[in-house]
Structure 1
């Protein structure tokens, strides 16, 4: 009887933590913070990127190539969006405002583009301005080449650092044996540009013959999360491993993150890629997941809305349909919690202008967490 009683208590606690079928009216609780999940933007297809204009309205990229302006509870489709290569994992990807957007009006987006050499597409970075319901002043700042019809690993996330440089990620496009370790080829890299698209002369490979001078790091697989640390200003990123071995890394000038020379994962078939997880000259991850959670979207919790979570790291999980809340001690992960469990395939997670956590879910909506 005593064992049955203990099991009943455990079952009740577990069910209270994961029951989220009615997302709009069920209050949930973690060890340190109660919250309610509220639906904000309904009936979305694949909301890849999201950001907020100064008036509090949202810009949302849909992978199929649509840019949505959500204002006053209305979804307005923006016109004059560049044609995207909507194939496999490619499409209209991330979106970010210039840090001085109020003064210059620049909006930055990454997307799969058909422009350039070869059939298919590859990731491009552009900037533009929004006038009314149309994009203007469109400029392509970087276009990876050559194009390929492969459907995987376009990346891509965008982040600015405290000095105004823009960082963006491009996956290795499924060509792991040739792209990530070769600085003369695009793919499997983090890139760094000035805000006008010019290349900083202090980039690590700027003076290397034949190198892609915009490269800042290499040996990456498919980074789909990037965020600036609110205190140190360092750029953090995460990337998909194969079967196992998703990683959190901190972007360091000229660093090699090892793919596919070292990995904590294996092929999807279960066969070995390499027996090495570390190697001299290769930057180790500050954290890795085995099994993979398929991370997408990344943000640090800031502000005063979630006092018990302040400074923790949010990472969305496509595979397991929740948001991971990571406790940090400096640059070390010390604890993991699952929040917003069973919400759906999390494509992005960000902090909104209102100080609330927003979660973009494939095939559904954008939600936010309301502290209780």
Structure 2
């Protein structure tokens, strides 16, 4: 495994407008220099409260979720709240979470969303879909919920990505519960599940015929994945995962793999900074478990992950962009032969905690920051 400790890349910033004066659809920074690209930072819409995800409609409009329980349609620098949302349990890290437009949206109209449901005695992450009719969600269907309600309102995971065969992957965090459940193969907590588009179980899931495993499980031994993306050329599934103190991970997700948590971890105990108390080893291979491709040092607290493709940022083609909450930055990762060979730091402390990073159909990069007065931003080529 390749380990790397990063320092600030010393971004070249010029012609900067004060953030307090930058309105919706206004340029925040006219020219930002990186190692291989020059880009503009544009505020698309502001006035968001702890937004969590951005999705893209074929007509150019965006969908933005807010963790406190809202979904907005964003168009021409303004936002419109949708009606017809599911009942969401909003507390701690729970609420309205991911949103993804079905790849065949123009034919079926489906929009997929994840959220926390339940009450103060226990919650689960759930997956649903609906169609958009004006400013309302209609034809609502709940498709799936995790099979264990739990009281800690954290570690929901809850990112969704569609695969080429029409199935989808949904990440589910370990829920921060005691005892830890990511090695319990009957429990969805700490897993990536694979579902058909209607929420049913695909017949070729890796454990579908094994009674010792929940049939939805695609991979397990995860702590809290909040970034996942499919590479458009290789088909590889990349995910960023929160570790304990240190040891945030980039993983290559493959069916049937056990990624180790909490038996094996490179992270440290939050209180003592010693070896993590429940871990028996730092050696994944000794236990037949899959090690991370890359360990983020210093801490990234990763959320949101994109793979850059196309001509808009041609010098970044094939690179991963990993958002960081605590680190307040984006890391551009160059991957060769499933190994990170270079990393560059972008937008360090420019817009705060990064919650989501995605490339839109227009080739631009869209970013959400996580704060009480947040915004949707766009990176676009400066030339």
TM-score by length of 2: 0.89
Partner in structure 1 of residue 42 of structure 2: 38
| Matches for 1:296-307 after TM superposition, within 5 Å | 296-307=303-314
More deviation, 178-187/294-303: 178-187
2:145 aligned with 1:143: yes
Instruction: Find the aligned partners of 1:327 and 1:15 in 2 and give their Cα distance.
Output: 18
Partner in structure 2 of residue 95 of structure 1: 99
Partner in structure 2 of residue 282 of structure 1: 289
Q: Contact between 2:222 and 2:260, CA under 8 Å: does it hold in 1?
A: yes
| Matches for 1:41-120 after TM superposition, within 5 Å | 41-114=45-118, 119-120=121-122
Structure 1 gap ranges (5+): 1-12
| Matches for 1:239-250 after TM superposition, within 5 Å | 239-250=241-252
Which whole-Å deviations, capped at 9, do the CAs of 1:299-357 have from their partners, x for residues lacking one?
A: 00111111211111000010111111011113110111011221210000000121101
Instruction: Find the aligned partners of 1:323 and 1:353 in 2 and give their Cα distance.
Output: 20
Q: Contact between 1:165 and 1:194, CA under 8 Å: does it hold in 2?
A: yes
- With over 3 angstroms needed to count, the CA separation of the structure-2 counterparts of 1:184 and 1:19, relative to structure 1, is farther
Q: Contact between 1:263 and 1:276, CA under 8 Å: does it hold in 2?
A: yes
TM-score by length of 1: 0.92
- With over 3 angstroms needed to count, the CA separation of the structure-2 counterparts of 1:305 and 1:22, relative to structure 1, is farther
Kindly tell me the number of residue pairs found equivalent between the two proteins: 358
Q: Describe the SS at the equivalent of 2:343.
A: strand
Instruction: Find the aligned partners of 2:17 and 2:289 in 1 and give their Cα distance.
Output: 44
Partner in structure 1 of residue 337 of structure 2: 330
Partner in structure 2 of residue 153 of structure 1: 155
Partner in structure 1 of residue 12 of structure 2: 16
2:366 aligned with 1:370: no
Partner in structure 2 of residue 213 of structure 1: 215
More deviation, 174-183/320-329: 174-183
Q: Which has the higher strand share?
A: 2
- With over 3 angstroms needed to count, the CA separation of the structure-2 counterparts of 1:262 and 1:66, relative to structure 1, is same
Q: Describe the SS at the equivalent of 2:35.
A: coil
Q: Aligned to 1:223, which of 211, 222, 225?
A: 225
Instruction: Report the aligned-residue RMSD.
Output: 1.8
Q: Contact between 1:177 and 1:260, CA under 8 Å: does it hold in 2?
A: no
Instruction: Find the aligned partners of 1:72 and 1:322 in 2 and give their Cα distance.
Output: 27
More deviation, 21-30/275-284: 21-30
- With over 3 angstroms needed to count, the CA separation of the structure-2 counterparts of 1:349 and 1:282, relative to structure 1, is same
